[in-house]
Structure 1
Amino acid sequence: MPVRAFCSLLSGGKDSTYALHKALDEGLAPACIGIVVPGRPDSWMFHRPFVEFVPLQLNAMGLSGLSYEIRVSGEKEKEVEELKESLARAKEVRAFDTLVIGGIASRYQLTRFRMIAEELGLRIYDPQWGMDPEAYMYELLRYGIIYIITQITTAGLPYRLLGVPINSEGLVREIIELAQKHGFHPAFEGGEAETFVIKAPRYSGGICLEAKRVRVSEFEYRLEPISATLCDRPRVTIDGVMYEA
């Protein structure tokens, strides 16, 4: 049986990174890594924060040659059609039959990805779909994916977690307990927070970041990046304070 070739949509966050790794673990062949860049920060489909640093992640995995930038408007529904058109063009030159996505529970996103896949004759590979979100957060840690929270848009997630590497059971437990108390999705599937991966099993080394915390409103905070580089030992410097990954 021929090896399935895939195009993976990689935002830089924990979920798309996990999905890409699992596809590679399954022996699927990477033909395309789609970096979707939405024109608006409030896209319904796509992650925006720190997407400019996804090429560093691909470099760390030795996959830079597969990068395929996809620019969309970020406007509801219009961006879905724009993604489909871009994937159709990519399929002509990259020859893949599978689309790798990293959804957990969003019916809105899954329905639209399935529609695109059906129209383009693609299979969907979504390894974490339907997983218990609390178990999934521990699975990320067990698997070796270390990430930072780059944006918070919900009550209950404290400002102090912004930019801190999520690299221990204690931090994962704290996020889950806060989710239970305040009612947000423990894996942030509702857009309550965005993430960026600085260390993963297939990275050679990791990513070192410097950023500052910015308060946008009462319950909304974001990281404003200053610099990002590949490094042997990943770490994050936030407002002058260094955190080892």
Structure 2
Amino acid sequence: MRVVALISGGKDSMLALHEVAREHEVVGLLSIHPDNTDSYMFHSVNLHMLDAIAASLNLPLTKLKVSGIEEIEVEELADQVKGIEADALCIGGIESNYQKKRFEKICDAAGLELLAPLWKRSPEDIMFRVARDFEAIIVSVSAMGLNETYLGRKIDEKCVSDLLELNRKYKIHVAGEGGEFETLVLDAPLYRHKIVVNRARKIWDGMRGYYFIESYSKFSKSPNGKI
């Protein structure tokens, strides 16, 4: 099938893309840009990095705008997705019935099949897979136990172990699917070049925070080096 992958730049959507690419032809990327940064459905942190990610994947990126208002944003997205030329839409959902049901509605309206390769997989297994195969960092935190030190932190095995401990203490979702944290994938097996953060700014209000990337470089994985 010809598949368009919904990406936020985060680990779940990127892992889902890699899974789907094993069996299907990924023909494009779709990103959603909510006006409301507290959107129920969509990420809003460092969306400016998606152009670099699309270039690294060598895939066209379609950017769609929604209001970010609960339920209204679903209708807005459904109207825009109808024009996409593909057989299926891939999402990175793990166990949020709220999101899955709404994407099923969107795909039904657009005549697309919904692919959710991570659905009901172990969040712990997903996180250790990310730590092993991707270079990803945490770019947003908004839950008990996730303090300023997590902003910009690389997701490695130690980080996953710490998140598991926070899950035991505070019941946060290990993969952050409840919005506890958001991530950004800087390198992955399908990337032609890796992204290196040159300068970033932490924005912390005492309860939650963001890691805003101000500048970055791209390094080819070929012997030529920096591009």
Q: Does 1:15 align with 2:12?
A: yes
Structure 2: segments with no counterpart, 5+ residues: 222-227
Q: Does 1:58 align with 2:46?
A: no
Distance 2:102 2:162 in 1: 33
Q: Does 1:33 align with 2:21?
A: no
Letter in structure 2 aligned against 1:118: D
Q: Does 1:48 align with 2:44?
A: yes
8 Å CA contact 1:8, 1:34 repeated in 2: yes
Runs ≥4 residues deviating over 6 A: none
Distance 1:80 1:129 in 2: 20
8 Å CA contact 2:82, 2:111 repeated in 1: no
8 Å CA contact 2:45, 2:212 repeated in 1: no
Number of residue pairs the alignment of both structures matches: 220
**Secondary structure of residue in 1 paired with 2:137:** strand
Letter in structure 2 aligned against 1:202: L
Map 1:91-170 onto structure 2 (within 5 A). 95-142=85-132, 144-166=133-155, 168-170=156-158
Give 1:79's aligned residue.
73
Letter in structure 2 aligned against 1:222: Y
8 Å CA contact 1:99, 1:122 repeated in 2: yes
Distance 2:121 2:103 in 1: 18
Deviation sequence 1:111-149 (CA, Å, 0-9, x none): 00011112222111111110111122112223x122111
RMSD: 1.4
8 Å CA contact 2:147, 2:208 repeated in 1: no
Distance 1:213 1:194 in 2: 14
**Secondary structure of residue in 2 paired with 1:89:** coil
Deviates further, 68-77 or 116-125 = 116-125
Structure 1: segments with no counterpart, 5+ residues: 234-245
Distance 1:173 1:45 in 2: 27
Distance 2:124 2:66 in 1: 32
Give 2:209's aligned residue.
221
Of 2, 5, 17, the residue aligned with 2:2 is 5
**Secondary structure of residue in 2 paired with 1:25:** coil
TM-score (norm 1): 0.86
**Secondary structure of residue in 2 paired with 1:104:** coil
8 Å CA contact 1:207, 1:231 repeated in 2: yes
Of 20, 24, 27, the residue aligned with 2:21 is 24
